[in-house]
Each structure stands twice: as structure tokens, then as C-alpha cells.
Amino acid sequence: MMKSRNTKANNLEAVRKWALKQFSLGDSSIHGPDHWERVYENGVMLAGKTPGADVRVVKLFSLLHDCRRENNHYDPDHGRRAAEELEQINGSLLHLSDIQLELLVQACSGHADGITSSNPTIGCCWDADRLELPRAGIKPRAQFLSTAAARNLI
């Protein structure tokens, strides 16, 4: 379960509530809150095994990457739509440094593009989501995983 401290710097529950307000597909969506929770768990685990990964960015990615989906099927721009919102809520909700914000924007924008990243934070974000592909009947493939920690799991 996601743990959050009620501080400006790390109020994950407030971010989750905001993401739920943005999400139009409902709680039972394959891309909804249950998925976000599993991506969160995957991401925290991967970040713990990946030197240089920013776990805070990974946690935020888990809550935000699919919040602007418009359908449960083909929606290639959903990550970019989510990323467009991030600058607007940074400072009031996210409280990220410029570097963290850029990492989160890149992670959300590109997570559905089928590419990998050498950046440990972005790699953990994408891999945390891709390890969830079996929910859609898709087996994750090593060539599409960015981190050794994720590749070791398949």
C-alpha cells in the first residue's frame, strides 16, 4: 500500500486524489488505480535495486502516467497528455526540482512508445509499468526493459 507523509514535499495521497479526478475511465479500468498501485510497488522495488534511480519520481510516475487516458484500448498520446499537466501542478502539488520534473515529464511522455532508457529513473518508471503487461495478456520481453532489475524478473 502506498504510504505518504502529510508534507508538502511528499503528499502522495493528494497526488493520487488529483490523478483520480483526471481519470475518466473509472476505478475498474485496466489502466486505473489498481494498476497504479501495482506499478507503484514494482517501481519502488526496481528503484531499490537500480543505482541512481529517484524513487520519488518513480512513485509519482506510478500515480500519474495513465491518469489522462481516454480509453482502455489504443491511446498513444495519453502519456503526453499527462505530462502536459505536470508543470501546472508542480509547486502546488508535486514540489519537484527542475531535474525531477523533467524526468517525470519524460517518463510519462514516453512510457507507451516501446523504447528503453539508459536513465535509471526513467528506466524504473517504464519497467514498473511494463512488468504489468501480463494483466493485458502480454508477456514482457527483455529487449523492452531498461533495467537489469526488471530483466532479472522475467
The whole-number pLDDT of residue 111 equals 92
Q: What is the pLDDT of residue 102?
A: 98
Which positions ≥6 away from 17 have C-beta within 8 Å?
A: none
Pairwise CA distance, residues 44 & 128, whole Å = 8
Q: Look at residues 115, 114, 106, 120 and name the one whose alpha carbon lies nearest to residue 148.
A: 120
Distance CA 84, CA 68 (A): 10
Q: Dump pLDDT digits (tens) for 15-42.
A: 999 999 998 787 777 787 999 899 999 9
> Is the Cβ–Cβ distance between 57 and 100 less than 8 Å?
yes
Q: Which residues of the chain have pLDDT under 50?
A: 1-7, 9
**E strands within 3-153?**
none
Amino acid 10: pLDDT: 55
The reported pTM is 0.90
Cα–chain-centroid distance for residue 16?
A: 12
CA distance 68 to 24: 8
Q: What angle do CA 48, 54, 55 make, to 5 degrees?
A: 55
| 8-151 maps to CATH 2.40.50.100 | no
